[in-house]
A and B are shown apart, each in its own frame.
Chain A
Amino acid sequence: MELLGLFHYWVFAVLLMIGFYAVVAKVNLVKKLIGLSLFQAAVFLLYITMGKVSGGTAPIFQAGMTDALFSNPLPQVLILTAIVVGISTTALGLGIVVRIKEEYGTIEEHEIQEIDRR
């Protein structure tokens, strides 16, 4: 039980680095953006995990609830907006990738560099 207390953080670390691997190792630009989404999701998970209180419940007051224990609302607020901002920036990135494809005819990084060198 003692060790499981950190399990969420380990999953965060592994997910973060899986996303990071896709960003640094893959040459396909769409795959890089997918990796960035994974990286981002890992950070979301870290924030929400930190806000959880054992035995707590979602921070919404309900009638008849006296001295209930609530989880921390603040990380939830941050992540809620970050998700929507994240999809907007991902869409912007995809837009750039589509334009690159139209100009270069490819979205593989090394082929783009090849064309640029000519």
Chain B
Amino acid sequence: MTVVFGIFLLTLLVITAVAVVRTRNLFVAVMLLGIFSLLIAANFLLLDAADVALTEAAVGAGISTVLFLGALALTSETEHAATPHRWLSLIVVVSATLVVLYATFDKPTFGDPEAPIQQHVAPWYLEKTPEYIDVPNVVTAVLASFRGYDTLGEVFVVFTAGIGVLFLFSAPHGHAARRRPGARDGSSIGLRDDLIPRVVGRLLVPFILLFGLYVQFHGDYGPGGGFQAGALVAAAFILYALVEGEDRTLQALPFNALLALMVSGALLYGLVGVASIFLGGNFLDYSVLSEDPVAGQHLGILLIEAGVGLTVTGVLLSIFHAFAARDRF
């Protein structure tokens, strides 16, 4: 039954992807991309990747759609030019597809427990997590502790991308960006006149925030963690901004606070690493943070997940506000 459902979802995935590329209307393409994200999240769930599915649903279907729509509002909604070199591109792509398809025949069968990938370090992680880290969610254990160094790097990539967007938009407007006649001023942003979205939005925001906190702090025990929680909290604030207008959201969480969130999250993560050096361990070796090594691991994971959550929330919301503020001129 699961197999049939999986094949159904994968087929839908391909159909959606073709539709995304074929349509000339970019608004439609972005909406279809959101559907594509939801479908692929469902697929991840079928493939036992609960954490990944949660992240993809929050980031891909929620935040990415909003950012693309923000960019469309600042550029144009239709791609008008015909595709040059269409046949050449098609020939290249089709032959590349055939090569990749040919390569798949060397892959181990789907779900094969004897595949090389299952023989390498994965069994070690599954076996040693209860002993060294003692958190039920192995994904969190690997992400935050065994491979904490990689995750630190990724948090800084997210941080750098946020800084990059803010830098790009700090430049003065170019000559082409004259104020459009229909441009909205601050007072009419949002759906304040529409009763149903407004009421539903208002009702949902606190529960999304609550769920975000649950995902943040329950990440050791179930699917979740800083990345997912950051995306969920950002999604809650973006929903509030869409319903009530951006100004009100900035009153609730000012822009400077967002910058502080971005910086403090990354700093908190780095400081945990430095603290573990001063306590006599290796960089990001949490065992020394407490008398009991396992309790130290728990404390370290809690702290760095909080750092990840703060940075991701700060970066995603600053990017959203950067796009939204550009819209007003």
B243 at the interface (CB under 8 A from A): no
- Given A45-B40, A80-B227, decide whether A28 and B136 contact each other with a Cβ distance below 8 A: no
Q: Please report the C-alpha to C-alpha distance between residue A50 and residue B41 in the assembled complex, in whole angstroms.
A: 16
- Complex partner residue of A98 from B48, B221, B323, CB under 8 angstroms: B323
Assign chain B's interface to a size class: 35 or more
- Given A60-B136, A62-B136, decide whether A103 and B74 contact each other with a Cβ distance below 8 A: no
Chain A 93-113 near chain B by CB (<8 Å), digits 1 or 0: 011111101111101101100
- Complex partner residue of B101 from A10, A22, A34, A89, CB under 8 angstroms: A10
Nearest B residue (CB) for A102:
B174
The count of residues in chain A whose C-beta lies closer than 8 Å to any C-beta of chain B is: 88
Q: Please report the C-alpha to C-alpha distance between residue A75 and residue B118 in the assembled complex, in whole angstroms.
A: 11
- In the complex, are the beta carbons of A30 and B72 less than 8 A apart? yes
B92 at the interface (CB under 8 A from A): yes
Residues of chain B within 8 A (CB-CB) of A99 are 168-169, 171, 174
- Given A6-B110, A61-B136, A91-B319, decide whether A17 and B48 contact each other with a Cβ distance below 8 A: no
Task: Say whether chain B's binding surface is mostly helix, strand, loop, or mixed.
Answer: helix
- In the complex, are the beta carbons of A13 and B177 less than 8 A apart? no
- Given A18-B18, A48-B44, decide whether A34 and B29 contact each other with a Cβ distance below 8 A: yes
- In the complex, are the beta carbons of A50 and B81 less than 8 A apart? no
Q: Which 8 A-B pairs have the closest CB atoms?
A: A54-B111, A88-B161, A28-B79, A5-B109, A25-B89, A102-B174, A105-B176, A71-B48
Interface, chain B (partner A; CB < 8 A):
3, 6-7, 10-11, 13-14, 17-18, 20-21, 26, 29-30, 33, 36-37, 40, 43-44, 47-52, 55-56, 59-60, 63-64, 67-68, 70-72, 74-76, 79-81, 83-86, 89-90, 92-94, 96-97, 100-101, 104-105, 107, 109-113, 115, 117-118, 121-122, 125-126, 129-130, 136-139, 142-143, 147, 150-151, 154, 157-158, 161-162, 164-165, 168-169, 171, 173-177, 221-223, 225, 227-228, 230-231, 312, 315-316, 319, 322-323, 326
